[in-house]
Amino acid sequence: MITVIQDPAILVNGRMSKWFPVHQPISFTLQRRDANSTQRYKVGNEIHFKLDQLPSSVKAGQTVAYVTPSVTINLVVKSITGLYLKVAFDPYLLTINAKGFINFTDAFIGHYIETKVSYIDATLTKILIGTVKTKTDSFGKSKVSVQELLKTRCDNSNQFLYNAINKKQLNEGSGFILDFREAFNTFVSAYVPSNSFYFANGSKQLQEPNGYNMGEFVPKLTFSENKFLSVFKRPTYFVGYPFSLSFIYSDLLSNFQIQRKEQTKGINGAVIANTTYNIFGAERNNVNRLMLKQSYPSTVKTLDVWLESSGIQTTWNRTDRYGGYAEEGTFRTLRTFDYVAEEKRPGNDAFFTRIRS
C-alpha cells in the first residue's frame, strides 16, 4: 500500500493553501507499507508479528524490514503460520513502543512506485502529463517532485482576450492530480488518486515565511488582505490599452458571489464614484485575469480595486471529472487587495491607480 505522508500544502492564517509556484520544488513524500503489525510478542526464543496480510511469496529465510518512525530493523524470517511472521528473538524489538509495519524486502522483487501526474483542463477533464518512477529508502519513503512536468503546461504568453470581467488562464495556473501505484515481481497495483492540488506559473523569494507555497496570494475565508499576482508595486494603466490583473480564484471559494469593486478618486483623493460588478464563478479553481471597468473620465486620478464577497448565497455543487473525484465547496467572505498601480493617459498628466494591499 502506498500513502502520501507529506505534501506541500500548509496552513496559512487558519486555512489550508494547496497552491504552489511551478518554478520551485513541488515535492510529495510517499511511503510504502506492505503489511501492518497488529501484534508483537515473545514466544520462547522467537518474536511473533501478527500482520494484517501475509502474501504467499513471503518464505522462511527471506529478509523483511520492520519499520518504525525512528528505526528500521532487518529481520530474517524463521517460519510463517497463517498471518503470523516469526523471527529470532531480539530483546531490542520488545523495547520499541511505537507501532511499526513490515516491508517484504526479499519477497517483493524490484519494487517501485509510479506516480502519474495530470492537470485539469478548461472542461474540468483530467489530462495526463507524464509519469515518474521512484524507489523507496529503508523507511519505505520516496520523494516525488512534479514541478518539471507541470512546467510543460505553463507559458508566459497573454491568452486573455479582454472580453470578460474575469477569465481562467490555464497557462498561468490550474489544478493537478497525482495518482500512485506500486509494482513488484509481476504485480502492478491499480492507481489510487490523491486530492486536488494547484500550481501557478510563478516563483517565490528565498526565505519567505510561507516557503514554496502561494499562501499569501490565495484568497482567505475572511475579509483579511490578499495579494494579486502582479509583479509591480505600481502597475501602470494606459487608457485605451489592454490592462488586467492576475489573481488566484481559490479552491476555497464557493456558494457566495464574488464582486470586483472600484473606487475612483480625484487629484486630492476625494471619492468620485464607487462601482460593483459580479465576477464569473465558473472560472474558480484557476489563476484568473481580471479587467478594470475602464472608460474613466479625465477627473479620475487614482483608482482602488479589490475583490469582495457580496454576501449573497449562490448554489454551486460541482462534480469534477477527476477520475471520479467530486467536490462541493462553500464560498466565504473574500477581500483581495493589492498594489499601488500607476496609470497614464496619453496626452494627459500621469495619475495613479491604487490597488490596495
Distance in angstroms between the alpha carbons of the first and the last residue of the chain: 46
Cα 235 from chain centroid? 28
pTM recorded for the entire structure: 0.80
Q: b vs e for 309-330, b when ≥16 Cβ sit within 10 Å of the residue's Cβ?
A: bbeeeeebeeebebeeeeeebe
The set of cell numbers assigned to 155 is 507559458
φ/ψ of 92, rounded to 5, equals -65, -35
The residue to which cell 482602488 is assigned = 304
One-letter amino acid for residue 110 of the chain = G
Pairing type for strands 327-328 and 192-200 reads unpaired
Quote helix, strand, coil % in the chain, to nearest 5. Answer: 5, 45, 50
Q: How far apart are the C-alpha atoms of 252 and 204, rounded to whole Å? A: 21
HSE-CB of 51 using CA atoms within 13 angstroms: 22
Reading the chain (357 residues) residue by residue, the pLDDT tens digits are 899 999 999 887 777 889 999 999 999 999 999 999 988 888 889 899 999 999 999 999 999 999 998 899 999 999 999 999 999 998 888 888 778 899 999 999 999 999 999 999 988 899 999 999 999 999 999 999 999 999 999 998 889 999 999 999 999 999 999 999 999 999 999 999 888 899 999 888 777 777 788 888 887 655 456 788 876 777 778 888 889 999 998 877 767 788 899 999 988 989 999 999 999 988 988 999 999 998 889 898 888 888 887 766 655 433 333 333 233 222 223 334 433 344 444 433 333 334 433
User: What's the pLDDT score for residue 311?
Assistant: 66
User: What's the pLDDT score for residue 295?
Assistant: 87
User: What's the pLDDT score for residue 180?
Assistant: 95
Q: Kindly write down the DSSP assignment for every residue of 222-284, as one continuous string.
A: SS-----S-S-SS--EETTS--EEEEEE-TT--SEEEEEEEEEE-TTS-EEEEEEEEPPGGG-
- Angle (nearest 5°) at CA 250 between 245 and 253: 120
User: What's the pLDDT score for residue 347?
Assistant: 38
Among 134, 136, 140, 139, which residue's Cα sits nearest to residue 116? 134
Contact by Cβ (8 Å): 8, 26? yes
User: What's the pLDDT score for residue 225?
Assistant: 63
Among 244, 204, 277, which residue's Cα sits nearest to residue 355? 244
User: What's the pLDDT score for residue 24?
Assistant: 92
φ/ψ of 15, rounded to 5, equals -135, 155
